[in-house]
Amino acid sequence: FMTETSDFVIGRHKTSNKHYDLVLGINGAVRHWIVPRDIPKKYGEKRIAIEEGRHAGFPQKGKDGQAAEDSWGKGIWEIWDEGSYEVEASSSIKLVIRPSGDRFRGRYLLLVPGWGRWTGKRLWIIEKIKER
């Protein structure tokens, strides 16, 4: 059983539609999901995560842990958590990760449910799951 370690950052994006941005480095690419409400913190909590696709890189840090002006869209982008994570399972519609950030830690499942595969933007579910 092989795991790989990669980096993540989660930003709290204060725009007219406040949300969190989950940004994962995966196999040399940067993938991005918008999580409208908040990041699940308790086991069994589920949230919608809207896949925004791939980016050229992680948000550039500016002053006070905020993204540099215009580097990650409009509004104020504050780093909510960052760190590394291990990939436990990966496919085109499922990702099980174990992040080790200050707030984003434990095991999480990112999954494209059947109804999320055929929408304009792929809709995922992010869920905090129990340890093995």
Tens of pLDDT, residue by residue over 25-81, are 888 788 899 999 899 999 999 999 999 876 666 665 555 555 555 555 677 888 999
Q: Average pLDDT of the chain?
A: 84
Examine the pLDDT at 2 and tell me if it is beyond 50. Answer: no
Q: What's the distance, CA 76 to chain centroid?
A: 18
Whole-number pLDDT of residue 1: 36
What is the value of pTM for the model shown? 0.83
What are the φ and ψ backbone dihedral angles of 93, each rounded to 5 degrees?
-125, 5
Q: What SS3 class is residue 64?
A: helix
**Could you tell me the residue range of the domain that residue 115 belongs to?**
4-129
Q: What is the 3-state secondary structure (H, E, C) of 99-116?
A: EECCCCECEEEEECCHHH
* Residue 123: burial class (beta carbons within 10 Å; 0-12, 13-18, 19+): middle
The count of structural domains within the chain is 1
- Nearest C-alpha neighbor of 40 from the set 92, 106, 95: 106
**Could you say which DSSP state residue 70 is in?**
T
Percent of the chain with pLDDT over 90: 52
